[in-house]
A = this chain, B = another copy of it.
Amino acid sequence: MEIDIRLIPYPPPSNSLIHRTVVVIDVLRATSVIVYAISQGAVEILPVITVEEALDRAKEVPRGSAILGGERESKKIQGFDLGNSPKEYVAETLRGKKVILTTTNGTKAFHFVSAGKEIFVGSFLNLGAVAKKCLEFDHDLLIFPSGDEGNFSLEDTVCGGMLIERIMKREGKPIALTDASQCAHILYQRFEGNLIEAFNRSYHGKELIRRGFREDLDDCARIDITDIVPVFRDGVIKAN
């Protein structure tokens, strides 16, 4: 198995993806929200790019069957039910419902990698389960951090590095690492045992603290709280 990671969230050429597993990561906060929401009983998540598209899709489903969630500039969107904090996505609100989600970076990323052989949703919350799933499929792996408005994201790459660490620890066979995945692995080793330090040093982490979302950082730094590995397929994210 070869593991690569796309350090800058430019869309990869589609033909480079068709034989590879892709793991999309947006630690702060889209993929943490998605993993948590599915673990709390949401039936599916529809990641859409624009607010308009989210509102349109909500009109297509029976009233009360869908929750509108997401953010712009980290804040809940006007007229939406939920923002982009994992703690909002609890069983009482979600059970049996569909979530239509639009965020600045994360929801876009899924569409960039839609040509992947299988596409998993990764976060610290489900990292061990994602590692296990990648090894079961045993394809070459591309980790795709959603980044920060087109830029490199420290916290997403640290999470990617932890996924690499977990896969290497579990796998008996040698794993080939590219320069980029070696970089992510070294970053993870630097912040191992202190993920919050990486969040506090990252641009997006600092922005969230400034805007009053410090608690979300703690929530998104919880490791292996669920075995759910959501799958993105045909435009929709489901439990499997």
Where the two chains meet, the residues of A that have a C-beta atom closer than 8 Å to any C-beta of B are 7-8, 10, 148, 151-154, 157, 178-180, 182-183, 186-187, 189-190, 201-204
- 13 residue pairs of the A-B complex, CB under 8 angstroms, read A7-B7, A7-B152, A8-B10, A10-B10, A151-B178, A154-B182, A157-B183, A178-B203, A179-B203, A183-B183, A186-B186, A187-B187, A189-B190
The 3 tightest CB contacts between A and B, nearest first, are A154-B179, A152-B180, A8-B8
**Besides A8-B10, A154-B182, 18 other CB < 8 A contacts?**
A7-B7, A8-B8, A10-B10, A148-B179, A151-B178, A151-B179, A152-B178, A152-B183, A153-B179, A154-B179, A157-B183, A179-B202, A182-B202, A186-B186, A186-B187, A186-B190, A187-B187, A189-B190
- B residues within 8 A CB of A179? 148, 151-154, 202-204
CA distance A151 to B7 in the complex (A): 10
Complex CA gap A10/B152 in Å reads 13
Chain B residue numbers with a CB within 8 Å of A182 are 154, 201-202
Which residues does chain B contribute within 8 Å of A183, judged by CB atoms?
A: 152, 154, 157, 183, 187
State in angstroms the CA–CA spacing of A153 and B182 once bound together: 10
Please give, as numbers and ranges, the residues of chain B lying within 8 Å of A202 by CB-CB distance. 179, 182
Closest CB-CB distance, A189 to chain B, in whole Å? 8
A148 and chain B: residue at smallest CB distance? B179
Residues of B within 8 A of A157 (CB): 183
Give complex CA distance A152, B181 in Å: 10
In the complex, which residue of chain B has the Cβ closest to the Cβ of A6? Answer: B8
Residues of B within 8 A of A154 (CB): 179, 182-183
Collect the chain B residues with CB atoms within 8 Å of residue A180's CB.
151-152
| Complex interface: chain B residues within 8 A of A204 (CB) | 179
Give the residues in chain B near A201, CB-CB below 8 Å: 182
Chain B residues near A178: list those with CB within 8 A.
Answer: 151-152, 203
A195 → B minimal CB distance (Å): 14
CA of A76 to CA of B189 in the docked complex: distance in angstroms? 39
Residues of chain B contacted by A10 (CB below 8 angstroms): 8, 10
What B residues does A8 contact at CB under 8 A? 7-8, 10
